[in-house]
Chains A and B, each alone.
Chain A
Amino acid sequence: MSENAVSLTSPRALRTGLSRVAAGRAATYALVIGLLVLPFLLQGSWLYTLGICFANSIGVLAVSVLVRYGGEVSIGHGFFAAVGAYSVAILEHRLGISLLVSLPVALVLGVLLGICFAWPSRNLSGIYLAVSTMALALALPEVINNAGEWTGGFQGLYVSRPVIPGIDMSLQRYFVALVLLIVVAYGLDRLRHSRQGLTLLLARSHPAAADAFGTRRVWARVSVMGISCGIAALSGVALGFSSSTVSPSGFTLWSSIFLLVGSVVSFYGLSLPRALIGGAFLTLVPQFLSGSGAWIPVLYGLALLIVILAGHFAPKIAAMLRRHPEGL
Chain B
Amino acid sequence: MTGFVDVVSGTARDLFPLIWSGMITGCLYALGALGLVMIFKCSRVVNFSHGNVAGFAAFLIFGFSSGTLLQLSWGTAVLLALIAAIAIAFLSYAIIAPIVFESDLTATIATLGLGLVAQGATLLIFGADIVSLELPVPRFSTSFLGLLITGYDLTVLAVTVVTIAILFFVIDYTKLGVAFRAISSNPFAAEVCGLNLRSVHIFAWVVAAILGVVGALLIVPTTFLSSTTVVTFMLQAFAAAVVGGFSSLPGSLIGGILIGVLMNLFTFYVSPEFTSTFLLGVILLALNIFPNGMLVKVGGSRV
Q: Say if the beta carbon of B120 comes within 8 Å of chain A.
A: yes
Neighbouring B residues of A139 by C-beta, 8 Å: 274, 276-277, 279-280
Residue of A127, A298, A301 touching B46 (CB-CB under 8 A): A127
A252 (CB) vs chain B CBs: closest residue: B228
Q: A135, B112: Cβ atoms under 8 Å?
A: no
Q: With A and B bound together, what is the CA distance between A11 and B48 in angstroms?
A: 47
A131 adjacent to B283 (CB under 8 Å): yes
A303 to B109, CA, bound (A): 12
Bound-complex Cα distance A134 to B284 (A): 12
A304 sits at the interface (CB 8 A) = yes
B205 at interface (Cβ–Cβ under 8 A)? no
A127 — which chain B residues lie within 8 A by C-beta?
40, 44, 46, 104, 108, 246
Q: Write the residues of chain B forming the contact surface with A, with a CB cutoff of 8 angstroms.
A: 40, 44, 46, 48, 95, 98-99, 102, 104-106, 108-110, 112-121, 123-124, 232, 235, 238-239, 241-242, 246, 273-277, 279-280, 283-285, 287-288, 291, 300-302
Q: How large is the interface on A (under 10, 10 to 19, 20 to 34, 35 or more residues)?
A: 35 or more
Which residue in B116, B117, B232, B242 is a CB contact (below 8 Å) of A131?
B242
**Contact flags A289-328 to B (C-beta < 8 A → 1, else 0):** 0000111111111111100110111000000000000000
Cα distance A127–B238 when bound, in Å? 11
Check: A48 CB closer than 8 A to any chain B CB. no
Would you give the shortest CB distance from B178 to chain A, in whole angstroms?
26
* Assembled-state Cα–Cα distance A41/B276 (Å): 47
B288 nearest CB across to chain A (Å): 5
Write out, one digit per residue, whether chain A residues 62-81 have a CB within 8 A of any chain B CB (1) or not (0): 00000100011101000000
Q: Which of A224-254 contact B (CB under 8 A)?
A: none
Report 12 cross-chain contacts, Cβ distance below 8 Å, ordered by A residue: A71-B105, A127-B46, A136-B280, A138-B279, A142-B277, A257-B116, A261-B116, A297-B120, A297-B123, A301-B117, A302-B117, A305-B110
Contact B235 A135 (CB under 8 A): yes
Q: Is A150 an interface residue (CB 8 A)?
A: no
Contact digits for A118-157, partner B, Cβ 8 Å, 1 yes 0 no: 0011011111101110111011001100100000000000
1/0 contact trace for A265-298 toward B, CB 8 Å?
0000000000000000000000000000111111
